[in-house]
Structure 1
């Protein structure tokens, strides 16, 4: 029998604290599990299968829908702290006591807070296209908010101007990403309108200016890999530099001619870099 891939592994469910969490996993039991936390308007289908399969060649990989998102039940939360608490509940329900953690965009904010509040749980941290609390907001000239106006993920091509740059090369990489995502036949439930409202509130709360808002970063001692594109118009790339500077043990990778989903544009390079980091 052929081993499952990101496109074929079944969706599973686990119940905890009144929520039925939907998740998928690959290569169960192989080393320290790598848990993914998702971006705004993302569900089980929006992580690049090339990245999931790439990591799963050497380790266990788990990705999930938080409460009120996709196929998970419950109410979507409206603060990063509460979304992070859901992630901790999910990890505990699966019996995970030590993980590596990869968060993209809003999922990177969740990953920071989960690592801060549960330092014994997280061994190593990968942050992609994300920001610290009270970070630099999107430049209005980039018109990033309008890119999300089409609503929840009912069309995979929604992500082309969000994750990828305007160049022909970057957009071609985006179309390749969409083709990979579409290999999944039994798709997840789209991100709901209620989740959009709640997560939008979480984004505003996280970005509220606070002179002490980034003090928590000094307490995150897990080795951290920070990754972004050269021109992220959703969460400006300068936030990645801030994370690298303020986290005690962090390194930074910026990919050329790329945006908010740089790891989707360069999946093989990203996996190779991240695996080397995780395996040290």
Structure 2
């Protein structure tokens, strides 16, 4: 179903869905809910510096055609109140509070980049809550990151229309073309757009991600505590959180599948949106494996 079809049928999309709020634990969380009223909700956990409108509408809307999808701003991000924590554990606690405030007893998680670190902790600690887990462009605790170096390089490219172009995509013409199309899609929503917060969010988030990767977990205790089916996805040339992180997670997780997309960077899911949605849908709809 195309974007035009969705709009013509009056179906809420990432671009048209109202921003809702739920409050508790001293935080007023902003979120948008798409898709049918029934089914296991897919909760989206966003990347470093990103808010609800930084998601790709093509990805989110396609996933929501047959399942509830919820995109939200964690504490301090976008239109959510509270303070953005400087550690992944506190971010996971806040995200869990949001899920509980919605009264959800079973969810699937899709964590991208920093959101993938948060998703790992939630899945490891909440086996009954989390049914399936999707980790995209992320790293395990003690993994490899080059956040500051890659950010510095991206912001030095003054000819780029948006720093996400060099951050998320490779230098090839095909990847760059996909990146420009992605950037255009993220601007489709004109009314009631989410809020960019600046250093009040990015400074603690950067500390959280860097600390997560700088803290060794030699026994892989978090990954080994994740028993849920997990789909691990990475771009072949991710400069921020390299693809060897994905393989490292795949090896330590007890029930994981691994997908690497060619000629792609940190934003591989946005470079190959149709393929990514197809892989996610197949994974989420697959029956549980039997011994």
- TM superposition score category, shorter chain reference: over 0.9
Which residue, out of 3, 11, 14, partners 1:6?
Answer: 14
What corresponds to 1:199 in structure 2?
A: 205
Residue 29 of structure 1 and its aligned partner are, at CA, apart by 1.8
Tell me the alpha carbon deviations over residues 105-164 of structure 1, each in whole angstroms, 9 at most, x when there is no partner. 000000001111111110000000000000023299xx41314658xxxx9722111111
Which residue, out of 142, 164, 172, partners 2:169?
Answer: 164
Distance in 1 (CA, whole Å) between partners of 2:55 and 2:229 is: 23
What corresponds to 2:216 in structure 1?
A: 210
Distance in 2 (CA, whole Å) between partners of 1:170 and 1:197 is: 29
Residue 34 of structure 1 and its aligned partner are, at CA, apart by 0.3
TM-score under structure 1 normalisation?
0.94
Contact 1:81 1:113 in 2 (8 A): yes
Contact 1:156 1:178 in 2 (8 A): no
CA separation of 1:27 and 1:205: change in aligned 2, threshold 3 A: same
SS of the residue 1:233 aligns to? coil
Contact 1:103 1:110 in 2 (8 A): yes
Dislocated runs of 4+, deviation >6 Å: none
Which residue, out of 243, 250, 270, partners 2:256?
Answer: 250
CA separation of 1:121 and 1:139: change in aligned 2, threshold 3 A: closer
Distance in 2 (CA, whole Å) between partners of 1:147 and 1:195 is: 20
SS of the residue 2:109 aligns to? strand
Which residue, out of 4, 18, 25, partners 1:17?
Answer: 25
**How many pairs are equivalent?**
274
Matched, 1:65 2:73: yes
Matched, 1:86 2:94: yes
TM-score under structure 2 normalisation?
0.90
What corresponds to 1:174 in structure 2?
A: 179
What is the Cα-based RMSD across aligned positions, in Å? 1.7
Contact 1:30 1:58 in 2 (8 A): no
Tell me the alpha carbon deviations over residues 93-113 of structure 1, each in whole angstroms, 9 at most, x when there is no partner. 011110000000000000001
SS of the residue 1:226 aligns to? strand
